[in-house]
Amino acid sequence: MPSGHWITSPSWAGGKHRLQAPELLGSSPTQWERGRDPTARQRLHNKEHMSVAIEFHQVSRHYGPVKALDLVSFSVKEGEFFSMLGPSGSGKTTSLRLMAGFEQPTSGRLNLLGQEASGTPPYARDVNTVFQDYALFPHMNVLDNVAYGLMVRKMGKAERHALAHEALAMVALPDHGQRTPAQLSGGQRQRVALARALVNRPRILLLDEPLGALDLKLREQMQVELKVLHRKLGITFIYVTHDQGEALSMSDRIAVFNKGRIEQIATPRDLYHHPRTRFVADFVGSSNVFEADLALRLCGKAQAFSVRQENINISATDAHVSDGNLRVEGEVLAIQFLGAAQRIEVSVEGHVVTALQPESEAASAWAAGMQPGQCVALQWSTRDMVMLDA
Contacts 24+ apart (CB under 8 A), 214-219: 214/186, 214/187, 214/190, 215/186, 218/186, 218/187, 219/246
- Kindly state the average pLDDT of the residues 362-366: 70
Share of the chain above pLDDT 90, in %: 39
- Is the pLDDT assigned to residue 378 strictly greater than 90? yes
Among candidates 39, 32, 72, 40, which has minimal Cα distance to 56? Answer: 72
Per residue in 224-246, pLDDT (tens digit) is 888 888 888 888 999 999 989 89
- Is the pLDDT assigned to residue 270 strictly greater than 90? yes
- Is the pLDDT assigned to residue 44 strictly greater than 50? no
> Is 225 within 8 Å of 119 (Cβ atoms)?
no
The pLDDT, as a whole number, for residue 9 is 32
> Is 189 within 8 Å of 131 (Cβ atoms)?
no
The dihedral over CA atoms of 41, 47, 50, 55, expressed in degrees to the nearest 10, equals 130
The 3-state DSSP class for residue 353 equals: strand
- DSSP assignment of 270-338, as one string? HHHHS--SHHHHHHSS--EEE-HHHHHHHHS----EEE-GGG-EEE-TTSPPPTTEEEEEEEEEEEEE-
- Residue ranges and CATH numbers for the domains of the chain are 15-277 (3.40.50.300), 288-387 (2.40.50.100)
Question: pLDDT-derived band of residue 19, with 50, 70 and 90 as boundaries?
Answer: very low
Residue 157's Cβ-count burial label (10 Å; 0-12, 13-18, 19+) is exposed
- Is the pLDDT assigned to residue 16 strictly greater than 70? no
Per residue in 51-105, pLDDT (tens digit) is 999 999 999 999 999 999 999 999 999 999 999 999 999 999 999 999 999 999 9
The pLDDT, as a whole number, for residue 321 is 81
Question: Which neighbouring-strand residues pair with 327?
Answer: 379
Per residue in 294-340, pLDDT (tens digit) is 888 888 888 999 999 999 999 888 888 888 889 999 999 999 988 88
Tell me the C-alpha distance between 124 and 127, whole Å. 9
